[in-house]
Structure 1
Amino acid sequence: MKTLLTSLSLLCIWLSANAQKQIFLYEGKPAGSENWTWEEAVSEKNIFNTKVVYNVSRPSITAYVPENPNGTAIVIAPGGAFHTLSIDSEGIDVAKWLNVRGITAFVLKYRVARSFTDDPAKEIIGKMSNFKALDEENAPIIPLATQDGMKAIKYIREHASEYKIDPKKVGFMGFSAGGTLTMSVVYSADDASRPNFVAPIYAYENAIIGNNMPKEKTPIFVAVAGDDQLGFMPHSINIYKKWFDAKQPAELHIYEKGGHGFGMRKTNTSSEGWIENFGNWLKMQGYIK
């Protein structure tokens, strides 16, 4: 009986420490999308073969809190062409990996363009053959998503003591469109909403908004596959070079294979090692003890 009670006690402690809490970033409907009437939904079976969230109209962050927080926090922005969010491979799975290393993670659901069917992946695949048209469609959405990203950073800093976070160790990372969002946030933010470090993973540079390179030291970690089907590899090189030329701490990884959207997927390529490389970089920068 004593052993059982001890086990249950430890289980309760573990569940409490690893509990996820969803926090809506605004009271009511946020500015810019007051007239949006669609409801957030989830697609489980689709061409992407992963869970995706779509029709986000109420931006939120979900906190993944480690048992022993080390003071570092990271906002994670999943990708999906600003139409969907690849919530597992480019969100929750990353958060869990960071938790093991003591980092408090916040998976961001930012505003995306409206999907008109219950198969948003099929909708977006049909649009990706014409990036010019897709950019035009996404143009009014990206500033809203950027506001959501900056709001998330501000929220975390305002509640830093609650989560045992050092407000000077708050980072932002994202994948594909989430990487575009990462760079839009760091280039557009003021002091209160600017992340201390960033990690754009296979970002799409053409849709980044803002151009204010931080004056403060802001390390960047960039990763992409050379065989990215969408041709985003040069975008990562350009982002890295801008950071390098600004004399900011910068690291770039280009994996021979991995394609676009490797995230936390098992690809049987060297791109699977990106997360370990990221962890080593975080340790070098002092964000993992």
Structure 2
Amino acid sequence: MKKILLALALLIAITGNAQQKVIQLYNGTVPGSENWDWNQNESADNVYHSNVVYNVSHPTLTVYLPDSTVANTGVALVICPGGGLQTLSINHEGYDVGKWCQKHGITAFLLEYRLMHTLGPDPYKEMLAKMKANTVLKEQAPVAPLANADGRAAIAYVRAHAAEYGVSPNKIGIVGFSAGGTIAATTAYNYTPQNRPDFVAPIYAYFPPEMQVNVPADAPPMFLAAASDDKSSVYSVELYTTWINSNHLAELHLFLNGAHGFGMKTQHLSSDAWADLFYNWIKQAGFIKP
């Protein structure tokens, strides 16, 4: 019975997502991974029984237009789920964020960026093996620049097609979770006019001090959130401090609890409030007018 319910939930999620427009981020071969030929998959058949996307070799953007019952704010948001560059935690850091945006008049673009190659049917099992062998950072190293490039390309795509989607070209933000938060934070550095984010939101991101150098003079405002019972929350504190010390706008919420990976989960913990705080921050920063 439990397996039937899980399969039904997965089918509903896939059916709901199929109603959204899906865009290939690159035309033709993908720069830097031209020889990647494995097939992308989505499954909950893993050690954690959690629905994930893996083996992304051709990045896509899934578009979530604002609900017809709410006013279009003109704000666009690129969404980067986490998953250690092995998977995408596609539900509570992807689909659910897109649906939240729809209800708040924000046009969302869910980015499925390039990931490490999963050889078997269980990406979580392979990630745990890499963690046990202490090889994760080594195996992530060649893929991280590609995933970061996908984040920049996503912003550039949205800006180039802003009129088509009814968004303002100077109201394009990016939010990311965990490894997706690393991508979001990275876009706040070394950008061009085409791929500069207007605001960034790294949520419990891995972004150590050695990555927090050469902050641009016109760096975008930043919203950060993490839970105190997550050891990686120190990176959010350090990045906030870097932004403030560089005379840029930033807001940090360090919740009492919620652990790593809270996303859009309802846990009846303090971290449940992050999305409402984020929306209020977008308004306070001037991207949503009364």
Taking structure 2 as the reference length, the TM-score comes to 0.88
DSSP 3-state at the match of 1:22: strand
Tell me the CA shift for residue 127 of structure 1: 2.3
DSSP 3-state at the match of 2:251: strand
Post-superposition Cα deviations, 1:212-251, rounded to whole Å, max 9, x if no partner, equal 42322511000011111xx201111111111111111100
Tell me the CA shift for residue 178 of structure 1: 0.2
Post-superposition Cα deviations, 1:115-160, rounded to whole Å, max 9, x if no partner, equal 11111112112323465x2111111111111111111111111110
For the pair 1:86 / 2:89, whether they are aligned, the reply is: yes
Mapping of residues 69-84 of structure 1, within 5 Å? 69-84=72-87
In 1: Cα distance, 2:128 partner to 2:279 partner: 32
Unaligned runs of 5+ in 2: 1-17
Distance 1:223 1:103, change over 3 A: same
**What's the RMSD between the two structures over aligned residues?**
1.8
- Equivalent pairs, count: 269
Taking structure 1 as the reference length, the TM-score comes to 0.88
Q: What letter matches 1:273 in structure 2? A: A
Q: What letter matches 1:64 in structure 2? A: Y
Match of 2:10 in 1: none
Post-superposition Cα deviations, 1:47-106, rounded to whole Å, max 9, x if no partner, equal 344311000000111010013421100000000001100111001101111111110000
DSSP 3-state at the match of 2:142: coil
DSSP 3-state at the match of 2:201: strand
Tell me the CA shift for residue 183 of structure 1: 1.2
Mapping of residues 117-136 of structure 1, within 5 Å? 117-129=120-132, 133-136=135-138
Distance 1:253 1:36, change over 3 A: same
The answer to whether the 8 A contact 2:54-2:118 is kept is yes
In 2: Cα distance, 1:192 partner to 1:138 partner: 27
Match of 1:174 in 2: 176
Unaligned runs of 5+ in 1: 1-17
Distance 1:46 1:196, change over 3 A: same
In 2: Cα distance, 1:188 partner to 1:160 partner: 22
The answer to whether the 8 A contact 2:82-2:180 is kept is yes
The answer to whether the 8 A contact 1:180-1:204 is kept is yes
Mapping of residues 95-174 of structure 1, within 5 Å? 95-129=98-132, 133-174=135-176
